[in-house]
Amino acid sequence: MFQSLPHTFRKHHIQADVRVLLQLRRAIEKGLVNTTGDLYVVLKGLLTNDPKEFGPYTTAFYEYFLDVEVGKGESLETALLRSQTFQDWKKERIDDDLIPDIKDLIDRFLDEVHLTTLDIKKVIDGADILNQDNPDAPDTQTDENPEIPTNLDKAVDYSNIPLEEILERMKRVAQQQRERHFGGSHWIGSGGTSPYGNNGAAPGGVRTGGTGGGKMARAILNDAKFFPVDTHSILKDDNIDAALAALKGIEDESAEVILDIPTTITEGLKQGGIFLPYEREKITQKVQVILMIDNGGYSMTPYIRHVQKLFSKMKTRFAHDLKTYYYHNTIYGGAYSDVRRRNFVSMDKITSLDKNYSVFVIGDADMAPYELGRQSLETWQALRERFKRIAWMNPLPEKYWYGSDTVPMLGSIVPMYPLTPHGIGEAVVEMNYQRKYAKR
């Protein structure tokens, strides 16, 4: 949990190491972290008490947990305005015609981020809420903007409700839900006190979609059926969280045998000073991803922003093991490390990377047959042979694949899936299977 946190905070000259992660974990286990605001306060107390470091600490916190990068000499408000996080929040919760003052929007966003348990004045027993709630109630929300509370003044504690009961009710609610919901205590949504959703105040509930922040959930469900969106439609803003949930399913671990010094010493003393080496296996969880994006043609233009947004949301998960390359239509001996495709990286260098990288190729694979020559096919084959966990995510509707001369050819080399949340989920399942198969 939070493996890459120390690196991010050290980058801003805030000393952090594995001990901080252990202390933070204890604080969460003791119930001290129930909201994002609690996380901000508790982690700040663990890392620094020097007022000179409060600014860098806040900068690091927003970068790591909220994906908001504050430039040198830039104010937090300015960084928020240009961040995708704030834009997503604004789009989901606010009608510009009703609240046009941007300063009010920023203040409201900051109020939600820094809401602490002390700010929540009342905690209600979850049983009282569920006893009065009908999980089979139809979804009657219209297209009109629902009234959204600006502040949560209460929390609902579901810790004493059996998890099986919450999951069963959630399934029944999901069958009725037709629209996205914000606030409230009934629907699978965000910003409320419902036992299922995200970014609300519901200790002991189940998180689906979005980000956890406060770590209040007892369980996290990444099953796409709990998202009230079309998971079979091409990647776009309203289903990107479902795609994110599927992408987070990537499993990756490495094992190495190391000398178990404490056991070696203990057993050696028992044997009268005869020290025989004892070894143990160290399991390291990590995620390594190579992202290859076709950003050269008009046919791919509508999807680039959504793809980059999806993988930028995975930034903290991938830590520094996300490598992005660009190409136009197909690759010839390599790809480019920059968006403008000026810095060429040879395929030899790419294939010299750890073979355990998961590779996602994003492109429609549709081009003139002469473009997909022998050199290009051999380059794709080399990539496929090096990285067993590779998937081609295609935004072109699947029904058109076999009407193209080049899509079937590339699909025969690299396993191809639709660029949809469902397709991403299928690709991840296959990648995890390949990992387990390779370990046998």
Q: What is the pLDDT of residue 264?
A: 65
Q: What is the pLDDT of residue 390?
A: 92
Pairing of β 322-327 and β 289-294: parallel
Residue 229 CA, chain-centre distance (Å), reads 17
Q: What is the pLDDT of residue 233?
A: 65
Q: What is the pLDDT along the chain (440 residues), one digit of tens a residue?
A: 677 888 889 988 899 888 888 888 888 877 778 788 888 888 988 998 888 888 889 999 999 888 888 888 788 888 888 888 888 777 766 554 445 567 777 877 887 788 777 666 566 777 777 888 888 888 776 544 444 444 456 677 776 677 778 888 888 888 788 777 777 778 887 777 888 777 677 777 777 755 544 445 655 554 444 444 455 666 665 565 556 666 655 655 444 445 566 776 677 666 666 656 665 544 444 668 888 888 876 667 777 777 766 766 665 555 557 788 989 889 988 999 888 888 999 999 999 998 888 899 988 898 888 889 999 999 999 999 999 889 998 988 888 898 899 999 999 999 999 888 788 888 888 887 776 555 54
Q: Is the pTM of this model over 0.85?
A: no
Q: Quick one: which of 187, 183, 209 has its CA closest to 198?
A: 209
3-class secondary structure for the chain?
CCCCHHHHHHHCCCCCCHHHHHHHHHHHHCCCCCCHHHHHHHHHHHHCCCHHHHHHHHHHHHHHHHCCCCCCCCCHHHHHHCCHHHHHHHHHHCCCCCCCCHHHHHHHHHHHHCCCHHHCCEEEEHHHHHHCCCCCCCCCCCCCCCCCCCCCCEEEECCCCCHHHHHHHHHHHHHHCCCCCECCCCCCEECCCCCEEECCCCCCCEEECCCCCCCCCCEEECCHHHCCCCCCCCCCHHHHHHHHHHHCCCCCEEEEEEECHHHHHHHHHHCCCCCCCCEEEEEEECCCEEEEEECCCHHHHHHHHHHHHHHHHCHHHHCCCEEEEEEECECCCEEECCCCCCCEEEHHHHHCCCCCCEEEEECCCCCCHHHCCHHHHHHHHHHHHHCCCEEEEECCCHHHHHHCCCHHHHHCCCCEEECCHHHHHHHHHHHHHHHHHHHC
Domains of the chain listed by start with CATH number = 5-117 (no CATH), 124-228 (no CATH), 254-284 (no CATH), 287-439 (3.40.50.2300)
CA 264 to each of CA 2, 125, 228, 259: distance values in angstroms, whole numbers, following the listed order: 31, 52, 55, 8
Backbone angles phi, psi at 409, to 5 degrees: -65, -45
Cβ atoms < 10 Å from Cβ of 202: 29
Q: What is the pLDDT of residue 384?
A: 94
Q: What is the pLDDT of residue 112?
A: 78
